[in-house]
Structure 1
Amino acid sequence: MQTPVTAAGGLPRQAVGRRPVPFFTQARSFEQLWPLIERHAVEVLDDGKFSHGRQVERLEAALAEYTGARHVIGVNSGTDALVLLLRAAGLRPGDEVVVPAFSFVASASSVVLAGGRPVFADIDPVSYALDPAALAERLTGRTRFVMPVHLFSRLADLTAIGALAERHGLTVLEDSAEAIGMRQGGRHAGLFGAGGVLSFFPTKTLGAIGDAGAVLTDDPELAATVAALRHHGRFGRTIGNFPAINTSTALPGCNSKMDDLQAAVLLAKLTRLDADIARRAELAAGYDERLAGQPGVLRRPQVGGIEGQVFYVYLIEVERRDDLAAHLAGHGVETEVYYPSPLHLQPCFAELGHRVGDFPVAEAACTRTLALPLYPDLTEAEVDAVCALIRDFYAGGPA
């Protein structure tokens, strides 16, 4: 899942009285990691294998150790990871997959690309994830899969969703693209159902310097199928860590292999992932303290007390969202809107026949939510500056 469009354009050359605060940068941390990245990159050059090579296999093994997954299959993006997971899990043409109406478009377009039919359901107003009660209302005789999305800083209600899926004989697949490091009961996101995915888009908690992704699963057959699909459906050779199954191209696959240079960067960044997650939590706590009781801020994310919480994004709900975003941009602070329009109202899903008002919680979130800068390179002074500008805006203070 990639980052959505910028809410308020690029940064001005000079912020008024303050340093610009980008929505995301990894310049400082990248500089610190450069010696290790360079070493891994030189290994790629020495190997002469730039795709689907030794660095990818090393990353798959390291991610398996970190997440506890029995199988990790590196691919070229989080979106392709979703498509391949759906296909490998047995999605047939016309099968219905229930997905939340509030998410990045890939959560639903992947279903279409895999040959299925997305069915939207409303979200929980606190977690922004698929509401189990809304899910129950959207099940039909054609529903075969449910795909919750873990957004921003917490897991979906996997206990309730899993129980509902079991009662109706549904397969749970997780869009856990944002959820690296999130766990519940010791189990990592993506491993509560048949499988899940990770995205390594640059802004993610573990980000590459381009597109990359992975499929997580404990099912060896599903893993082998994904591994073949990413490489043109070729089962007739050893594919990564997966043994050959036969000698022919048994499936119509695609070219979704991960680049080794991306794997080289991710291997280096994985060494500081837990420290980065801790730093994100500190910054989120800083925002929470400064914005507590702030007029105009309708909702802040819960900080602490949530099992497995990882802050990929610090998302607030605010009054006059677009005006606030413009105010911050005018003072050099970039923000993001997650997400500008709910999925059921996107033109690409018009044939499903939805109208405004069908999923009111998702629609309301699209008008009020704003993501503030949050990444390990952010400083406490920059958090102070962002919050001061929010206070000024709602107080009608100086421009």
Structure 2
Amino acid sequence: MSFFTQSTTFEQVWPVTRRHIVEVIENGKYSHGRKVAEFEAALAAYTGAGFVIGVNSGTDALVLLLRAAGLRPGDEVVVPAFSFGASATSVVLAGGRPVFADIEPDGYGIDPAAVDAAVGERTRFVMPTHLFSGLADLDGVLRVARERGLIVVEDSAEAIGMRHDGKHAGLFGAGGVLSFFPTKTLGAVGDAGAVLTDDPGVAEIADALRHHGRFGATIGDFPAIATTTGLAGFNSKMDDIQAAVLLAKLDRLDGDIARRASLATRYTEALAGLPGVRKVPVSRSDSVFYVYVVEVDSRDDLAEYLSAHGVQTEVYYPAPLHLQPCFAELGHREGDFPNAENACRHTLALPLYPDMSDGDVDEVCGLIRAFYRGART
């Protein structure tokens, strides 16, 4: 069983996808064109964002957002020690310095108390990251940000569809991002991402940065080389083919989210309380199951056992960010962020995607039960 596939979904959406792709070909602009603009408008309507800026990946979206929100060289950004690497490497790529803070003991969001303790003289930003199926403690993070005068930028790459008090993830501070990597809840057939913001100033700068720092109307304008280059920007435009795929899939996003929730409930009902399973996800009002992550004993042995029986899994994440080699110069040691380190010892992501059947979930759960009852081969 694959950890992820969208072959059935893609077959179902192909007629609509084909129509969008034909329109791209007939228009003759394959990057930063009309289809990207169409997708941006549709995504703004779905999320309620004042501005959506389509870019070529979620990682680039974070870099552009930090720059657009006013990050200066050497500014410190508080980020969680437990996350995908881009949460911290984006800070470095934008010219800042990541400062790690531990996650909450009962979840995967950054701990507001740890954020408060991490703030120093050069700290100007905090980046809560919304992981797996739920939002970080936004109320707590926003409270600390107000008290400490910090700018909030959200790593909401995994959080499409997640809302807090009716507001979509990514819209609680200067802005947020989305990733459309193929495995995401809304996935492309390659890399793509977006910046979300309600701030027109942030939007203007992010818009320029994605296209070599050029201001003015560039989207849909070929080749748009006569516009003013006001900033040292990037080549981070979204491809129109990716926008075509995302438009077709956006129409069924709520249904896909509901299917993911149903599969997650089936997992939880089968695994909760099982010896060897330390923690299963808790469904909340803001839950959108991008992945289904459990914490288990003998994690690596279980993953090997499932693989031997044809079930692919992923470890999210094998090492906390403060112990990654690229951040060795920050001088952290094992034990600095115990909650993040403990999560890295036990978390395992099980297959979860709309193309799965209930029987697929039952098969995975049956293998997990067998493993903890002593079947190790």
TM-score range, shorter chain: over 0.9
1:146-178 residue CA offsets vs partner (Å, 9 max, x unmatched): 000000010011101101101111100000000
Contact 1:111 1:118 in 2 (8 A): yes
User: Unaligned regions of 5+ residues in structure 2, if any?
Assistant: none
C-alpha separation in 2, matches of 1:241 and 1:300: 46
Cα pair 2:76 2:98 within 8 Å, conserved? yes
Aligned to 2:208, which of 203, 228, 231?
228
Task: Name which of 368, 374, 377 aligns with 1:390.
Answer: 368
Mapped contact 2:29–2:220 kept (Cα < 8 A): no
Q: What residue in structure 1 maps to residue 314 of structure 2?
A: 336
CA distance in 2, matches of 1:309, 1:55: 30
| Structure 1 position 221, deviation (Å) | 1.1
Distance 1:240 1:278 in 2: 34
Match of 2:282 in 1: 302
Matches of 1:260 and 1:36 in 2, distance apart? 15
Is 1:240 the equivalent of 2:219?
Answer: yes
* Residue 270 (1) aligns with residue 250 (2): yes
2:184 equivalent to 1:204 = yes
Partner of 1:115: 95
Which residue type is aligned with residue 350 of structure 2?
L
CA drift of 1:321 comes to 0.1
Q: Is the 8 A contact 1:127 1:154 kept in 2?
A: no
Residue in 1 aligned with 2:334?
A: 356
Runs of 4+ in 1 over 2 A off after TM superposition: 239-242
CA separation in 2, counterparts of 1:345 and 1:310? 29
* Residues 305, 376 of structure 2: 8 Å contact kept: no
Paired with 1:397 and 1:353, the residues of 2 have a C-alpha distance of 42
Q: Which of 341, 345, 360 does residue 367 from structure 1 map onto?
A: 345
Superposed CA deviations along residues 9-58 of structure 1, whole A, max 9, x for unmatched, are: xxxxxxxxxxxx11000011110111111111111110110000011000
Residue 14 of structure 1 corresponds to none
For residues 81 and 241 of structure 1, the distance between their equivalents in structure 2, rounded to whole angstroms, comes to: 20
Deviations 1:133-156 (A, max 9, x none): 111110101100000000001001
Q: Distance in 2 between matches of 1:213 and 1:241?
A: 18
Matched-pair contact (CA < 8 Å) for 1:127–1:151 = no
SS at match of 1:198: strand
- 2-structure distance, mates of 1:390, 1:274: 30
Report the alpha carbon displacement of residue 239 of structure 1 after superposing the two structures with TM: 3.1
Structure 2 Cα separation of the partners of residues 379 and 261 of structure 1: 29
Aligned to 1:321: 299
Confirm or deny that 1:312 pairs with 2:290.
yes
Query: Is 2:101 aligned against 1:97?
Result: no
Out of 126, 141, 148, the residue aligned to residue 128 of structure 2 is 148
SS at match of 2:194: strand
One of 83, 95, 118 as aligned partner of 1:138:
118
Return closer, same or farther for 1:241/1:98 CA change in 2, 3 Å cut-off: farther
Whole-Å separation in 2 of the counterparts to 1:267 and 1:308: 23
Query: 2: CA distance between counterparts of 1:398 and 1:322?
Result: 12
Structure 2 CA distance, aligned partners of 1:398 and 1:257?
48
Give CA-to-partner distance per residue, 1:229-283, whole Å, 9 cap, x none: 0000011x303399x9x95311000100000000000000000000000000000
The AA in structure 2 aligned to 1:27 is S
- Counterpart code for 2:148: H
Cα separation, 2, equivalents of 1:361 and 1:308: 23
- Partner letter of residue 31 of structure 1? E
Which residue of 77, 96, 109 corresponds with 2:57?
Answer: 77
Give the whole-Å Cα distance in 1 for the aligned partners of 2:148 and 2:248.
43
What amino acid does structure 1 have at the position aligned with 2:159? Answer: A
SS in 1 for 2:152: strand
Task: Report the residue type matching 1:397 in the other structure.
Answer: A
The residue identity in structure 1 corresponding to 2:372 is Y
Aligned residues: 374
Could you report, residue by residue, the CA deviation over 1:83-119 in whole angstroms, capped at 9, with x for unpaired residues?
0000011100110000000000000000000000000
- Residue 238 of structure 1: SS of its match in structure 2? coil
| SS of residue paired to 2:67 | helix
Which blocks of at least 5 consecutive residues in structure 1 are unaligned?
1-20
Amino acid at match of 1:238: A
1:127, CA displacement in angstroms? 2.3
- Does residue 260 (structure 1) correspond to residue 240 (structure 2)? The answer is yes
Cα displacement string for residues 197-244 of structure 1 (whole angstroms, at most 9, x for unaligned residues): 000000000000000000000011110100000000011x303399x9
Amino acid at match of 2:312: E
Q: CA deviation at 1:398?
A: 7.3
What is the identity, as a one-letter code, of the residue corresponding to 1:362? Answer: A
Q: Aligned partners of 1:201 and 1:209: how far apart in 2? A: 7
Aligned residues with identical type, % of pairs: 70
What is the Cα-based RMSD across aligned positions, in Å? 1.4
Partner SS, residue 332 of structure 2: coil
